[in-house]
Amino acid sequence: MNLKLAVIGQGYVGLPLALIASKSGFVVFGIDSDALKVSKLQRGVSPIEDVDSFQITEGIDSGSYFPTSDYSLINGCSVILICVPTPLNNVQAPDLSYLKAAATRIGEHLSPGSLVILESTVSPGTTRNFLVKTIEAASGLDQSEFNIAFSPERIDPLNRKWNIKNTPKIVSGLTENSTRMAAEFYAKFIDEVITVESLEIAETAKLLENSFRLVNISFINEIAIFCDELGIDITKVIQAAASKPYGFMPFYPGIGVGGHCIPVDPIYLSHKAGEIGASSNFIELAVKVNRDRPNYFVEKAQQKLGTLSQKKILVIGVAYKPNVSDTRETPVKALIDGLIDRGANVSWHDKLVKTWEGGQSAPLDDNYDLAIIATLHDSVDLSELGNTPIINTRNSV
């Protein structure tokens, strides 16, 4: 294969992949339909916390990384990675519109023999039955004339221990040749590549990983309520249980799960289960527990203040996890909406997010009746709240 690579989508998944590949002998076209994002990238400005701006400038200056919106550059690329969002739509069903748009544009410029790898999360069967057919229709090529593989992304923003290079990579192709090509490609910059025997196994493995996390986080959130009622510290309970060297994995409570994976991937699994008549009771219950979690803290606020009507409440952190600015699927929105429905005057503070939902980050001070810690970034100085009462969603005792 030649050493030209296109990465479709330059966000939390696609940008780090593009940059590590650009250091591994590839000339990489980082393609994104967001003109503003592309403009920032071309100026060497990183749009995400997980990538330093100097890494982008280094790639551009070396001639190995080209951020662009020009899909025609796909022509002549030996490998095309798809790293576009696969969110839920307004009825909480899988939304493949971004994938369809990307696959169509790829097909319009695809060279015979090229390898297309999907990294976006999808339901089992999507790569084989949706992606292949979409590319065939747009390209006029038969599936025997190009190669298809699926390799689920395993990106955890700001995780300093596990990164693209040292996190094992699952790969499967439509054919044995596609599997071999994809494995050889990833092996150039990833320490361990694991091939599995079908696209559907690889697709389902990704859904299992995050469904496992959702079920266990929802479970620990219920245990946190139990401990709260007993007046004991859930964090200390978890630490004690985690001393057992086998059979236990610590998960920690919070306001609920957010981001592009944990709240979304299990619903892809349960949606597919519904299509084939299989049970997904655990997932459905976990989704319900997770969605109910913000309202639990609305009730806690009501109990603490007696009434929420006209009370000034500051919510600290609207991103879905500490130290990132990503607000996708953030459970903080449900918390704020619930407080407002009870008549509270709600402000929020998040210096990383700055602007969100038509509002701006408010300063930290002691001019509030209550502060609720939803997502605590390392830079937040809680002493600025003075004597303001606090509810900490991580440990509300």
Annotated catalytic, 227?
no
Distances from the Cα of 157 to the Cα of 192, 200, 325, angstroms: 20, 26, 10
* Residue 98, token pair as written in the block: 């971004």
Reported residue count of the chain is 397
The catalytic position among 77, 83, 227, 261 is 261
CA–CA dist 119, 15 (Å, integer): 13
* Residue 295, token pair as written in the block: 């309202």
Minimal CA–CA distance to 198: which of 180, 176, 172? Answer: 172
Minimal CA–CA distance to 253: which of 278, 226, 231? Answer: 226
Alpha helices in the chain (DSSP H): 14-22, 35-42, 53-62, 97-109, 126, 132-139, 176-186, 199-230, 234-241, 265-276, 281-305, 332-341
Contacts for 8 with CB less than 8 Å, ≥ 6 apart:
14, 31, 32, 80, 81, 82, 83, 84, 102, 105, 106
Q: Give the active site residues.
A: 261
